[in-house]
Structure 1
Amino acid sequence: MQHNIRRPHMKRRSLLEFHLALLAAGITPVVSGAQTWPTQPIRLVSPSPPGGAADVATRLIAKHLAELLGQAVLVDNRPGGNGVVAGLEALRGGKDGYSIFMGSTTTLVANPYLMKQVPFEPATDLDPIALVASLPFVLVVSPSLPIASVKELIAYAKERPGKVTFASANATSFVAASTFNQRAGIEMLNVPYKGAPASLTDMVGGRVDISFVDFSSARTFIESKRLRLLAVTSAKRSPLMPQTPTIAESGLAGYDVVGWTAMCAPAGVDPAIVQRLNREMQKILSRKDVQEQLAALGQDVILGTPDEFASFMRTERPRWGRMIRNAGISAE
């Protein structure tokens, strides 16, 4: 026999009296942390140095997140170590949702192939929140060099094996240059930097010859003719610079190296917080003004869920592994 049990409806007054009775008895009602989050400022830990395109984009996101969440969102720049310094700092922040990692191609998929010992495993130590944007790099050279095209650069480097230098501001730019080396059959010397601003300053000063760098960081140098733009690293031309050829169409067929940025949380953060952050990120990235500001930085917005981001990383990791191996890069 089935019994229709009618649950009593607890009115607002009765609910208030119930909570007051609990408090009087010394019992505190349990409230989920995700329901009250955030109650304090949030840190976005970034592996980028201040001033670069990734940093500008992170600060733009922080501004809009603060408005949506009703809490201050602070950017904590921790450059160095292929992004490992920032990743470890974010993980040390704990699993309460107040320490968020702004990751990238380097930190989330490339490092396991570039470093013999990575102190954290992105696939298990971080929970994906949202992809942010993709960003092709540009190939720039010092105007002091007699080079005006990719073909001329290759010819110049072939005549001077091991003498032409390239600045690598992060692992992605290093992979882009190393892949170029391998495809072109040349040998350029790597000069590592902690970020794009320092590398570009040295290029202008004549201390390094070429660089694969994000467009935003190089833009003012290109427009003032202190650096010469040769090509973009993506498979298709960029809408920002439609007259600039791709490396692929300049003689290295199939060349396609594009980085991306993303937001992650230390593994174990309440899934409700992850979903909340993803919802707010989709609102921010869907705004036309934000898309235009990111486009001015050479970045194309990527929308999607945490699950779609996780699937994307599972595809990207082996792809970057193949590129790194094919470029002859050994883990260090």
Structure 2
Amino acid sequence: MQRTFIKLLTGLGLAACAALAHAQYPTKPISMVVSFPPGGTSDSMARIIAKNLSDGIGQPVIVENKPGAEGQIAAMDVMKAAPDGYRIGFVTSGNLSALPAMRNTPPYDPATDFTAIADIGRYAFFLFTHPKVPAKTFKEFIEYAKANPDTLSYGTGNATGVLAFAQLKSMFGIDLLHVPYKGEPPATTDLVSGRVDAMIGTGAGLPYAKDGRLRTLVTLLPTRSPLAPDVPVLKEIGMGELPVIIWAGIVGPKGMPKDVVDRLNQVINASLAKPDVRSQIEQLGFAVTPSKPDVFAAMIKEQVGAYESLVNSIGMKK
């Protein structure tokens, strides 16, 4: 009886310590894993979130760049972390929607292997080409690609770009040469230098288009982007909208305590409500879409099915 009583007291003591630790969270720096190399739009976005999370939560938030494998390396790093809130990830539809959908044996289940923390925003993606490509409009690009199969090359730095180009190739019956990169910055560098002919990327390429080093043919948004109001959207050129969402958010490993998740969500959402922070994010080409963790989790789960349907329709399983 005495031994049982001691065990009970010990268990209650451990539970109390765990509850106290959660209540005091965080007591040390937090790491934010990013699946992109430094310098690109997504990395810049992650650093804005990290800085404001640090300011609001009272501990340093350290960005760790882990690019490669279309975002799988970073996602698996977060998935395998301790669920204590000290290692979280800036993820996107590239590594948590598109990549699992394209694999016959997915490395993880986005809906069950992670804890949804905070929805950040929706990307504006654009089709960029080098000026040497003899096409000034999307229609001319498709016509040239059809007339010259396997002549044009395209670079991709994430799974979203891979999937978007696969849909274009399937829809219009064009043959293009694929050149994969570890992230958008090196792909953009090679596009500007003319080593590749085209790329579907974020607004990071728009400054090069404005000074004539690139062309912007179309944007993958429902409405025209305020960053490029003269660039048509898919439905304006007869394609219809993409059946998926191109998103970004913050997740952690599965099994995180609810109070820790709620704390992170509250601080991130509060920062996203600040006009100066929202302006910084919008200048990167994002539409800010904060939500509660359960709403974000439902969106991730819904997009798993949406991306799988798209992948199956264009035969992109590998």
The answer, yes or no, to whether TM exceeds 0.5 is: yes
The reply to whether residue 43 of structure 1 matches residue 31 of structure 2 is: yes
Cα shift at 1:239: 2.1
Segment drifting more, 196-205 vs 113-122: 113-122
Match of 2:187 in 1: 199
The reply to whether residue 222 of structure 1 matches residue 180 of structure 2 is: no
Is the Cα–Cα contact under 8 Å of residues 245 and 303 in structure 2 kept in the other structure? no
The reply to whether residue 269 of structure 1 matches residue 256 of structure 2 is: yes
Match of 1:130 in 2: 118
The one of 140, 143, 152 aligned to 1:155 = 143
Cα shift at 1:182: 1.5
Which one-letter code corresponds to 1:115 in the other structure? Answer: R
Which one-letter code corresponds to 2:25 in the other structure? Answer: W
Distance 1:328 1:161 in 2: 20
Asked which structure has the greater CA Rg, the reply is 1
Secondary structure at 1:123's aligned position in 2?
Answer: coil
Match of 1:104 in 2: 92
Cα shift at 1:203: 1.2
Distance 2:265 2:38 in 1: 25
Is the Cα–Cα contact under 8 Å of residues 244 and 306 in structure 2 kept in the other structure? no
Match of 1:3 in 2: none
Is the Cα–Cα contact under 8 Å of residues 244 and 303 in structure 2 kept in the other structure? no
Is the Cα–Cα contact under 8 Å of residues 41 and 202 in structure 2 kept in the other structure? yes
Distance 1:103 1:46 in 2: 7
After superposition, residues 75-90 of structure 1 pair within 5 angstroms as 75-90=63-78
Which one-letter code corresponds to 1:139 in the other structure? Answer: L
Match of 1:184 in 2: 172
Secondary structure at 1:32's aligned position in 2?
Answer: helix
Cα shift at 1:258: 4.6
Match of 1:8 in 2: none
Match of 1:13 in 2: none
Is the Cα–Cα contact under 8 Å of residues 48 and 78 in structure 1 kept in the other structure? yes
The one of 275, 282, 297 aligned to 1:288 = 275
Alpha-carbon RMSD across the aligned residues, in angstroms, is 1.7
Q: Deviations over 1:163-217 (max 9, x none)?
A: 21111110001111111112222122211111111111111222111110001x2
Output the TM-score relative to the length of structure 1: 0.87
Match of 1:241 in 2: 228
Match of 2:293 in 1: 306
The one of 304, 308, 311 aligned to 1:321 = 308
Distance 1:138 1:258 in 2: 14
The one of 18, 41, 50 aligned to 1:53 = 41
Q: Deviations over 1:19-41 (max 9, x none)?
A: xxxxxxxx997352211111110
Output the TM-score relative to the length of structure 2: 0.91
Which one-letter code corresponds to 1:277 in the other structure? Answer: L
Cα shift at 1:257: 5.8
Segment drifting more, 78-87 vs 151-160: 78-87
Secondary structure at 1:326's aligned position in 2?
Answer: helix
Secondary structure at 2:226's aligned position in 1?
Answer: coil
Q: Aligned in 2, Cα 1:243/1:256: closer, same or farther, shift over 3 Å?
A: farther
Structure 2 segments unaligned to the other structure (5+ residues): 1-12
The reply to whether residue 165 of structure 1 matches residue 153 of structure 2 is: yes
Q: Deviations over 1:275-310 (max 9, x none)?
A: 101111110111111111111100010111011011
The one of 224, 231, 234 aligned to 2:218 = 231
Distance 1:185 1:240 in 2: 30
